[in-house]
Structure 1
């Protein structure tokens, strides 16, 4: 959590090893990323799911094809894909919309597709960069409930946000950054400092 420019997105890029830390250490899934060889980075990333603020859906593919793509690129069998895609679409509340194109969906539905794609391989860690940033407040609450449901399956969810209402409602662990520095780490925090 933090305001614009506080370092939230940089923190997520460090977790993904898209950037290297200039000092300190970054450990993800028990691995020191500074010691992780470049050829092992893709293998590590396969254990992560990534949700973007702008969805990044493939516009010429259906909902099901967008989700299946995440499994195709890592070599999952067609049988596994046929089984897991409908399951994850049901989980995110899009059962019955498999054949829709992204352009036919609302912003909240598009974000649900993006979350389904990030979660279909059952990652140990799901990273979400401002997942509600382009959504209205009511839709944002639905997305947060979905991320909470995913967290309850055993996947750790790390989310960057500046949305006070979301942080207050979720009452989850809050790490706050300011100018790239950790200024707060509370197990069940709310927005702003507690006195």
Structure 2
């Protein structure tokens, strides 16, 4: 479930929602967290993975994973241009393969080098049997129905999605008619 909010004052609301819905994985973009939030962002019953934005305010991504699931953080593209992405491998149950889950925030002004680094990470993650990628990619000009976009950066993102055989499963626009928050997977029926 991708959530898009400045999380500083939304922690209680998140915990209530999680208790009511019982999610296994929660991805959050634009956390706006820094070390001053270390004491307040844990959630009972969940393991927290987070990557705060470095060097400037805003951004940041986080995952809460049900602590009944065996998981570990993956470090994809650590020697490259920094991206606001976080990757976790979740051990599959007996007979089922592992799942790679990713959460990304792509600022609207992200440079081409950072985009290319993100696309390499997506390519590496999509080689797994099952991938769920959620986030705010800030490509409002993409028409998912026609698989088309006006802007060059958006067309490159669509190319990455297509090259990695990803399906975009969000059907309703979330903000002002634009589909910025996406949920991508390489395995139909994986997301419920």
TM-score range, shorter chain: 0.3 to 0.5
Which structure is higher in strand share?
2
Normalising by structure 2, report the TM-score: 0.39
Taking CA–CA contacts closer than 8 Å with sequence separation of 6 or more, which of the two structures ends up with the larger relative contact order?
1
From the CA coordinates, give the structure whose radius of gyration is larger.
Answer: 1
Query: Which structure features the higher share of helix residues?
Result: 1
TM-score (norm 1): 0.39
